[in-house]
Amino acid sequence: MIEFKNVSYHYGKEKEKTTALKNIGLAVNEGEFVAILGPNGSGKSTLARHMNGLLIPSQGEVLVDGLSTRESGVLWHIHQQVGMVFQNPDNQIIATSVEDDIAFGPENLGLDPKEIRERVDEALEIVGMQSYARHEPHMLSGGQKQRVAVAGALAMRPKYLVVDEATSMLDPRASSSMLESLKRLNKDYGITVVNITHIPDEAVLADRVLILFEGRIVKDGPPQEVFLDLNELREVGVGAPKARQIAEELIASGINLPRSILTIDELVSDLC
Amino acid sequence: MLVEMAGVGFTYMPGTPFEQVALKSIDLSISEGEFIGLIGPTGSGKSTLIQHLNGLLTPTEGKIIFRGQEVGKDIELHSAQKEIGLVFQFPETQLFAETVAKDIAFGPKNLGLPVNEVESRVREAIESVGLDYRLYARRSPFGLSGGEKRLVAIAGVLATKPRLLILDEPLSGLDLWGKTKVMQAISKLNKNGAAVVLVAHDMDEIVEHVGRVIVLNEGRVALDDKPEVVFTQIDYLRRIGLDVPKTVELFIKLKERGFDIAPKSFNLRIVINTVLALAREGQCL
Amino acid sequence: MSVGASFITGQYYPSGSLVHRADPRVKLLIVVTFALAVFLVKNFTGFAAIVVLLGFFIYLSRLPAILTLKGVRPLFFILAFTLLIHLGTRDGLRTGLFVDLRLIILVVGASFLTLTSTPVELTDAIESLLSPLKRIGIPSHELAMMMTIALRFIPTLSVEANKIIKAQTARGARFDSKNPLTRARSFTPILVPLFVNVFRRADELAEAMEARAYHGGDGRTRMRELKMRPGDWVGFVMAIILLAGMVWVGRMPIF
């Protein structure tokens, strides 16, 4: 479990201090698929960086399986437990070949060369990039680079995977394949996934959606509940899934539809 | 006719082992005031094509005609360039000046406009993207939020008062606020008479705004028609790796269930009205 | 698309030869010895022997010869120029040819190295060869990491520079002014964004490295361990002996 206990985070000097997170209380349970939705500047990325100890709270505490990120002695263990994938595919690949990049994490953990090799091959297979093992990263497409980044995190055998806007620079095909693999990692491998996004249609895929606004969690629940009141969401800078928007227009025109519709399929079956 | 491409082909590094054909016999024309959506899978040649429209690339075959005059033959390249604005993907990564106003002034200054004209254009451009001149003009572009930076970068191109504005994925990575602001600015520009070519992956945005869709695939124009015609080619679009708007998906699925519908457009408003009409006829619900 | 990035001179050319499979440290040391040797020889016989040996290595590595010479082409003017200025002096032809030969052999040797070893192998080799110097304070791991990151980002940054130049050109920027001051200033709109982006990339990369438990070289292991096999030793010793012999011959007072 990743637990936030009354976490606040400020950055900048005393005089022009900006508060990015305010009294966050949150528990991400094992096996969950959580989406964190919010506009730019809502504190999403700051929240994500607290989950694996890249940022340490100004007040409060973040516990990963009971270990506080404040204790520098356990930090490397937390980095291993909580894998991260970032937004820009280019800026998270370190090595000059795909397999060497995936090996980077396990190498830092000081594992045996044979063990590293096994983990790299396994991670390459999970993301379907075996045939690119020896390719140079700059020759890959954006979607392929992100798969390498996921593999790099997986090679650390993490329990949790925090994905920070990883699809926002990808084309639709690459981003849906990315989301499918996240779903698969959660279902088949039991990895807890936290997907940070600003795209409502992406949040629908999660079991649980948190909405962040000005550093606070303003909503937390299953997507069907979170997207009930669209006006309220608009006020915090969040749109709705497209199918939900169409349903809302139809409801406003007097058609009787449930407000829990999130996909076109649900809309069609409720219409007919 | 504003711009025409006649038999345009383009090959990267011809005559080398790295030769790569990017465009093949492209024929298309863009009229004043049109709003065009340019779509195609990654690698289909979209970015090569838009770079031809404003002369950053010169065709290896065929010709580009600007207002009836062949570029490079009848008129100089840069006199055509002046009237065609190009906003690249993630344009905020090209901001460089110490203030927003100075950055936006870069384009008009390069046109050789007098100082007071540059100033008034900067003011106009900042306001046309929905930002307050007094609040933003003196700020550093590097201290702005992602969405604000994008708007400033677009304003930098608008300040040259293009008759044709081409935007490559102007919405990617933006949140609701940023998307709304950018689309408002583009629509306003188009309402004021400028032609717009919008390259975008987000088919829902395309279908809401444009009057014509050009589909590019493997360097050729595969489809070029009204959105309601193009988006009924759903099997073809999916085969080449493109999405269709959610409104189209809704229509297809209703049709599969046996409802007799023939939409005039896939615009959200029209789709809602068509579904409402169905409901009133008692077909649905 | 990043078409331009795909053909940097001297990029790894996989042919799976004996030379490709050899320990990269051996290749690196042999090429360094080559470089020393060309500065020590003083006659054409010595040069001829070195060229033959280098040619033999290229033959063994099954590289298309033209590829190893590709790096020389951009040097053509420098080569012609050095020859020309030496012609005016006493014994100028000889000295000029020597300088040119040295340059050509150095460039071909360097391309031989990068064509037969991947960037990963080369950085590993440098880290391993420098590691004994750690005791006297040479940060071998950090140097190798810097080199890896530089090699990784050069193509990315060249694509990015290209993009920025295009974007500013689209806004009417001109870079061809006759006035050197104006011309220098016209690069500001390219250099500023490039630097800003480099810093942003560096920040994000540092974060990504930390997130993957990077904490410097201590306690870090490697997936690939460099291991000298008997063949590597044989090749290494023979090459060094041959080169030493050539230097000896090359310093004799003969043609």
Alpha carbons B207 and B219: distance in angstroms, whole number = 23
The answer to whether C162 contacts chain A (CB < 8 Å) is: no
- State how many domains chain C has: 2
Q: Which residue intervals of B163-267 are DSSP H helices? A: 176-191, 203-209, 227-230, 234-239, 246-256
> Smallest Cα–Cα separation from A155: which of A96, A88, A104, A79?
A104
| φ and ψ of A84, to 5 deg | -130, 145
Residues C29, C107 within the same domain: yes
| Pairing mode, strands A59-64 and A2-11 | antiparallel
Residues 6 or more apart whose Cβ sits within 8 Å of residue B241: A173, B41, B42
The answer to whether C170 contacts chain B (CB < 8 Å) is: yes
Rounded to a whole number of angstroms, the distance from the CA of A96 to the nearest CA of chain C is: 5
| Separation of first and last alpha carbons in chain B | 48
Residues C113, C1 within the same domain: yes
In this complex, the residue of A198, A242, A253 whose CB is nearest that of residue B272 is: A253
pLDDT in tens, B71-92: 888 888 778 888 999 999 999 9
Rank A257-266, C25-34, C59-68 by mean pLDDT and report only the highest: A257-266
Residues C241, C217 within the same domain: no
Collapsing DSSP states into helix, strand and coil, what is residue C208?
A: helix
The answer to whether C66 contacts chain B (CB < 8 Å) is: no
For the segment B236-247, the average pLDDT, to the nearest whole number, is: 92
Question: Cβ distance A62 to A69 under 8 Å?
Answer: yes
Q: What does pTM read for this prediction?
A: 0.87
Question: Cβ distance C27 to C116 under 8 Å?
Answer: yes
Residues C105, C199 within the same domain: no
For the segment C122-136, the average pLDDT, to the nearest whole number, is: 87
Alpha carbons B68 and B73: distance in angstroms, whole number = 11
pLDDT attached to residue C172: 87
* Lowest mean pLDDT segment, chosen from A71-85, B112-126, C53-67: C53-67
The answer to whether C171 contacts chain B (CB < 8 Å) is: yes
pLDDT in tens, A169-205: 888 888 999 999 999 999 999 999 999 999 999 999 9
Question: Cβ distance B170 to B189 under 8 Å?
Answer: no
The answer to whether B175 contacts chain A (CB < 8 Å) is: yes
Residues C187, C235 within the same domain: no
- Contact flag B250-A264 (C-beta cutoff 8 Å): yes
Alpha carbons B12 and B165: distance in angstroms, whole number = 25
Assigned domain for C132 exists: no
pLDDT in tens, A85-114: 999 999 999 998 999 999 999 999 999 999
> Smallest Cα–Cα separation from C164: which of C146, C140, C185, C188?
C188
pLDDT in tens, C218-232: 888 989 888 888 888
Assigned domain for C26 exists: yes
Two tokens at C19? 């030379």
pLDDT attached to residue A205: 93
Chain B neighbors (3+ CB pairs < 8 Å)? A, C
Alpha carbons B261 and B279: distance in angstroms, whole number = 12
For the segment B258-283, the average pLDDT, to the nearest whole number, is: 82
Residues C174, C246 within the same domain: no
- Contact flag A171-B254 (C-beta cutoff 8 Å): no
- Contact flag B85-C192 (C-beta cutoff 8 Å): no
Rounded to a whole number of angstroms, the distance from the CA of C197 to the nearest CA of chain A is: 11
- Contact flag B275-A271 (C-beta cutoff 8 Å): yes
Chain A neighbors (3+ CB pairs < 8 Å)? B, C
- Contact flag B78-C172 (C-beta cutoff 8 Å): yes
In this complex, the residue of A52, A96, A108 whose CB is nearest that of residue C120 is: A96
| φ and ψ of B213, to 5 deg | -125, 130
Q: Which has more confidence, C82 or B210?
A: B210
On the question of pLDDT at C14 being above 80, the answer is: no
Alpha carbons C79 and C71: distance in angstroms, whole number = 13
Strand-pair partners of A209: A35, A221
For the segment B23-39, the average pLDDT, to the nearest whole number, is: 95
Write out the residues of chain A at the interface with chain B, using a CB-CB cutoff of 8 A.
Answer: 39-41, 87, 141, 165, 168-169, 171-174, 198, 234, 237-239, 242-243, 245-246, 249-250, 253, 255-256, 264-265, 267-268, 271-272
The answer to whether C119 contacts chain A (CB < 8 Å) is: yes
Question: Cβ distance A237 to A39 under 8 Å?
Answer: yes
| φ and ψ of B225, to 5 deg | -165, -175
Question: Cβ distance A21 to A218 under 8 Å?
Answer: no
Rounded to a whole number of angstroms, the distance from the CA of C68 to the nearest CA of chain A is: 21
Residues C184, C236 within the same domain: no
Count of Cβ atoms closer than 10 Å to residue C136 Cβ: 6
Phi-psi region of C207 (alpha: psi -120 to 50; beta: other; left: phi over 0): alpha
The answer to whether B241 contacts chain A (CB < 8 Å) is: yes
Place of tokens 């069609």: A268
Residues 6 or more apart whose Cβ sits within 8 Å of residue C171: B106, B107, B110, B156, B157, B160
Count of Cβ atoms closer than 10 Å to residue C12 Cβ: 18
Q: Which has more confidence, C96 or B48?
A: B48
> Smallest Cα–Cα separation from C111: which of C19, C4, C3?
C19
Assigned domain for C113 exists: yes
Q: Which residues of B touch C172 (CB under 8 A)?
A: 78, 81-82, 106-107, 110-111, 160
Confidence of residue C116 (pLDDT cuts 50, 70, 90): confident
Which residue range forms the structural domain that includes residue C203? Answer: 148-224
Place of tokens 């979607």: A143
Query: Which helix H or strand E contains A190, and what residues bound it?
Result: none
- Contact flag C170-B78 (C-beta cutoff 8 Å): no
- Contact flag C148-A96 (C-beta cutoff 8 Å): yes
On the question of pLDDT at C5 being above 50, the answer is: no
Percent of all residues in chain A with a pLDDT value above 70, rounded to a whole number: 100
Two tokens at C49? 């022997």
Alpha carbons A165 and A35: distance in angstroms, whole number = 10
Assigned domain for C1 exists: yes
Residues C251, C192 within the same domain: no
* Lowest mean pLDDT segment, chosen from B238-242, C221-225, C251-255: C251-255
- Contact flag B41-A173 (C-beta cutoff 8 Å): yes
For the segment A157-170, the average pLDDT, to the nearest whole number, is: 93
Residues C208, C158 within the same domain: yes
Confidence of residue C8 (pLDDT cuts 50, 70, 90): very low
Two tokens at B15? 């005559």
Assigned domain for C135 exists: no
Assigned domain for C241 exists: yes
pLDDT attached to residue C195: 92
Question: Cβ distance B92 to B149 under 8 Å?
Answer: yes
Average pLDDT, chain B: 91
pLDDT in tens, B216-236: 999 999 999 999 999 989 999
Assigned domain for C131 exists: no
Assigned domain for C153 exists: yes
Residues C2, C100 within the same domain: yes
Alpha carbons A194 and A36: distance in angstroms, whole number = 7
Residues C216, C231 within the same domain: no
Confidence of residue B51 (pLDDT cuts 50, 70, 90): very high
On the question of pLDDT at C10 being above 60, the answer is: no
- Contact flag B254-A264 (C-beta cutoff 8 Å): no
Average pLDDT, chain C: 84
pLDDT in tens, B111-125: 999 999 999 999 999
pLDDT in tens, B196-217: 999 999 999 999 999 999 999 9
Alpha carbons B185 and C212: distance in angstroms, whole number = 41
pLDDT in tens, C175-186: 877 888 888 888
pLDDT attached to residue B284: 58
Q: Which has more confidence, A120 or C65?
A: A120
On the question of pLDDT at B154 being above 50, the answer is: yes
In this complex, the residue of B172, B176, B257 whose CB is nearest that of residue A39 is: B176
Domains of chain A (ranges plus CATH)? Answer: 32-52+73-223 (3.40.50.300)
DSSP state, residue B171: T
Residues C206, C159 within the same domain: yes
Percent of all residues in chain C with a pLDDT value above 90, rounded to a whole number: 15
For the segment B49-59, the average pLDDT, to the nearest whole number, is: 91
> Smallest Cα–Cα separation from C39: which of C103, C85, C96?
C103
Rounded to a whole number of angstroms, the distance from the CA of A271 to the nearest CA of chain B is: 6
Alpha carbons C247 and C50: distance in angstroms, whole number = 9
pLDDT attached to residue C81: 86
